[in-house]
Amino acid sequence: MADMSREQLRAADADRQQVADQLKSALDEGRLDLAEYDERLRDAYAAKTYADLDRLLNDLPNAAPVVPLASPVSPVATAATAAGGGDARAWLVHVWAGWVRVAAILTLIWGISYGTGSDDTYFWPAWVIGPWGIVLLFRTVSGLAKGEPRNYAAEAEHRRQLREHKLERKELYRRAIAAGELPVNPSKEERKAFIAEATARGDLAPKPRRPGQ
């Protein structure tokens, strides 16, 4: 690996997507026409090395070359090593958000009742938020011990990848319809066949798999 130049290194899916985003910007700026954009986009998703990607950006003044990571890792792997940081915080927000909202609403209702001079000054919301909070506390301790923040982060990353994949499919549909390769309202079977062909050609990355599959 140390003897290989950057241009000879194999590109990752994230590198291909970065180039695709820059090509879209060039299209929006008018530096590429639609035919050039379509051709380069196909080449970007079919690129094997960084040299293949560089050729698609060389004549675009605002494009930045893709810089490979020293130790490329997948987003899921990154999430799996960050449970003590942002992933843990995101998971804690996910677990406790409902409790915080309900506690705030019930306390507000109790406060309004107390402020209007009601004889009942007993803090009744405690009967709801107290037991619920105890349950969530046990879940929090157990979840941190079992690595639930890592699983939550991996699932969130998977959902993000699925959204991006869906947007890419829609863009392929749009271009195929504009080029007459698909009817305006393709059937489910036509869409499935088109996506299978696009994936086989390398125009579309395979559908992201759920973590652990």
Distance between CA 175 and CA 167 in Å, rounded? 12
DSSP codes, 182-210 = S-SS--HHHHHHHHHHHHHHTSSPPPPPP
Q: How far apart are the first and last CA of the chain?
A: 29
Q: Could you read off the pLDDT of 83-116 as tens digits, one per residue?
A: 446 788 889 999 999 999 999 999 998 888 877 7
The H-assigned helical ranges of the chain are 13-29, 34-46, 50-54, 75-80, 86-115, 126-146, 148-178, 188-201
Q: Could you read off the pLDDT of 136-155 as tens digits, one per residue?
A: 999 999 999 988 988 888 88
Q: Model's pTM, two decimal places?
A: 0.50
35 is written with which tokens?
């035919």
